[in-house]
Chain A
């Protein structure tokens, strides 16, 4: 048998290896899953993980899907680093789409260089406002931010539904619950001609760069890291816990809001009740798979976007159930969390005889 032993230092090798191991294990489990579903596992795996990489158009779609995942994931990583659990990014995404979409409808048929920035700022503010609620409730009333931010996801999606059924409904839309199509001046400029890939991806890359610089050089980045790894040390150092909560929630909410408005004025082109499709939750997986590091998140965002695109392809080509991809994403997070033990602990063969009592090491709690 083996015994688990804490490492003196977290293993850097394992830190980078475990996401790859997790992906490999997920693909292996996918084989089992496809066989159980009565599908050809090799073909399904190739369709999901390889086929989208072989054509220009599906590569551009990869960018479309990765944009919201990277934007939201980069923000969530800041929260999770500080041990603050904003899991309501889906709601902040929706409110960003609502606020930005409302601005786009308000500026309907208005032209000008300032139209796009106004819409984007409105979107970011919408997300920040929604994220400010759990931050305020935690700082002021000590309310658990996990539960409040999650409850607000449902509220946001109902609010979107109310608005597209009423105030923001298309006047010429024969009572369909959707807004009118946004005016051309409000739509996301296209990055690659002939595709749906829009400048939002460039913004996402910028967000990756900025959050990376923030964590590396800015004092708030340092405070976030200390607050997450050693809360007591952070208190002794006099870092304001409340300030960290505000900062991480507002940044992650703003980025989720941007992702929302980009989605509404990008690939969707109008406000519809089905706008939130779970990017806010998938981005949680992206953040963990990317090791809460901006560059990792960029790669993880692309990988999960690949499962979306490939999954859609497999759905059409092999009539694979749509939920398969959701199961895949869940498994990926499980395997990642399971293999994480190799980072902080190592397995040693247990001694044959009863070991002499060793000096008790302090349990390393996460």
Chain B
């Protein structure tokens, strides 16, 4: 039973950074903006959190630093795409390339150091229950936050007036502009929210999951998060399914040795990337389903002529 619990905990730890990054991107895309810079914002979050935690000794400070730096990276993207009307695909790529470089530059002095242990929830009695205890009551607060975030985002998008406006802008920015909504301003806000979320995902990698700083440690997770949004057909609930599926695949890779699988480790390491491709193909093959919830203005440049 302990093995099962350990595997499930491993899945949760592997899935949480993906959840953060993908839920943020989902909001950004719902407002009609395609930010391909998730990988870059994630890695900046990872190094910002790690460096701050090492320097100040405060984990919470690290997470706050990640949020600020992620939002600043996103602000750069927002300024370029919303104010200077740059192409979103190209700008997103630039954000990723720049973020990976900047993180490597900042991270120079931090490789080899390790972050202090991350405190986990402990409720006497409940957390000590076999299997159920560690699974439900024994995580760090970011895991619980990742669930709260999803519920909050689903509620915001579907049940509030502001969420409706965000979706309206994503569906038809010209119409939304015509009836007086501040399209650009709202998109600035969603883009920065997305950046903050991606950075928390990155912070989770460097101060909870490993907890080490390694150059390029996001290893494509930002891109997998982008694929998860497509997989989820822009529905927050389905996003968790996808993220946990990927968490499971990652864990298979780690536990294969214990399970006695004799496969080259590199072949197993390919699994998340291959799974992303397979999942994209399955979801996109049915064009109507794939487009059902897709924001109609996604990726288009908005220019208010008057």
B-contacting residues of A (Cβ < 8 Å)? 4, 6, 85, 87, 137, 141-144, 146-148, 150-155, 158-159, 161-162, 165-166, 281, 284-285, 288, 321-331, 333-334, 337-338, 340-341, 344-345, 357-358, 360-366
How many whole Å from A339's CB to the nearest CB in chain B? 8
Closest to B287 in A: A142
Closest to B227 in A: A147
Of the listed stretches B17-25, B50-58, B91-99, B234-242, chain A binds: B91-99
- Bound Cα distance A316, B302 (Å): 46
In contact, B270 and A141 (Cβ under 8 angstroms): no
In contact, A158 and B270 (Cβ under 8 angstroms): yes
Mark out the residues of chain B between 57 and 105 whose CB falls within 8 Å of any chain A CB in the assembled complex: 76, 80, 84-87, 89-91, 93-94, 97-102, 104-105
Chain B hits for A338, CB < 8 A: 80, 84, 86
Known: A142-B287, A357-B306, A361-B305. 13 other contacts (CB 8 A): A137-B277, A141-B285, A143-B285, A148-B277, A151-B220, A154-B220, A158-B266, A161-B266, A162-B267, A324-B101, A330-B94, A338-B84, A360-B305
In contact, B281 and A137 (Cβ under 8 angstroms): yes
- Bound Cα distance A323, B108 (Å): 9
From A150, A165, A326, A337, B90 is in contact (CB under 8 Å) with A337
* Residue B274 at the chain A interface, CB threshold 8 Å: yes
Encode B211-249 as 1/0 by CB contact (under 8 A) with A. Answer: 000000001100110110010000000000000000000
Can you list 22 A-B pairs with a CB-CB distance of less than 8 A? A137-B277, A141-B281, A141-B285, A142-B290, A148-B277, A151-B220, A155-B273, A158-B267, A165-B266, A166-B264, A284-B93, A321-B105, A323-B102, A329-B97, A333-B90, A333-B93, A337-B90, A337-B94, A340-B86, A344-B85, A361-B305, A365-B303
- Say what secondary structure dominates the interface of chain A: helix
Encode B276-306 as 1/0 by CB contact (under 8 A) with A. Answer: 1100110011010010000000001111111
Chain B hits for A361, CB < 8 A: 305
In contact, B98 and A333 (Cβ under 8 angstroms): yes
- Bound Cα distance A364, B305 (Å): 9
Chain A hits for B304, CB < 8 A: 363
How many whole Å from A358's CB to the nearest CB in chain B? 6
- Among A85, A323, A331, A364, residue most surrounded by chain B Cβ atoms (within 10 Å): A323
Chain B hits for A159, CB < 8 A: 266, 270
Chain B hits for A363, CB < 8 A: 174, 301-305
Closest to A363 in B: B303
- Bound Cα distance A361, B303 (Å): 10
Chain A hits for B91, CB < 8 A: 334, 337
Interface residue tally on B, bucketed by range = 35 or more
From A143, A161, A327, B281 is in contact (CB under 8 Å) with A143
In contact, B105 and A327 (Cβ under 8 angstroms): yes
In contact, A330 and B89 (Cβ under 8 angstroms): no
In contact, B306 and A337 (Cβ under 8 angstroms): no
Chain A hits for B267, CB < 8 A: 158, 162
- Bound Cα distance A338, B83 (Å): 9
Closest to A331 in B: B98
Closest to B173 in A: A363
In contact, A147 and B226 (Cβ under 8 angstroms): yes
In contact, B86 and A337 (Cβ under 8 angstroms): yes
Closest to A342 in B: B84
* Residue B269 at the chain A interface, CB threshold 8 Å: yes
Closest to B85 in A: A341
In contact, B101 and A326 (Cβ under 8 angstroms): yes
* Residue B36 at the chain A interface, CB threshold 8 Å: yes
In contact, A154 and B277 (Cβ under 8 angstroms): no
Chain A hits for B273, CB < 8 A: 151-152, 154-155
Chain A hits for B97, CB < 8 A: 281, 284-285, 326, 329-330, 333
How many whole Å from A57's CB to the nearest CB in chain B? 27
Closest to A285 in B: B97
Closest to A142 in B: B284
- Bound Cα distance A64, B143 (Å): 48
In contact, B277 and A329 (Cβ under 8 angstroms): no
Given contacts A337-B80, A364-B303, contact A143 B280 (CB under 8 A): yes
Chain B hits for A325, CB < 8 A: 101
Chain A hits for B87, CB < 8 A: 337, 340, 366
- Bound Cα distance A331, B302 (Å): 24
- Bound Cα distance A101, B89 (Å): 33
Chain B hits for A321, CB < 8 A: 104-105, 108
- Bound Cα distance A45, B84 (Å): 28
Given contacts A151-B220, A358-B306, contact A87 B80 (CB under 8 A): no
- Bound Cα distance A146, B105 (Å): 27
- Among A155, A281, A340, residue most surrounded by chain B Cβ atoms (within 10 Å): A155
In contact, B105 and A323 (Cβ under 8 angstroms): yes
How many whole Å from A25's CB to the nearest CB in chain B? 13
How many whole Å from B28's CB to the nearest CB in chain A? 15
Given contacts A146-B36, A151-B223, A366-B301, contact A327 B101 (CB under 8 A): yes
- Bound Cα distance A122, B285 (Å): 32
- Bound Cα distance A14, B251 (Å): 52
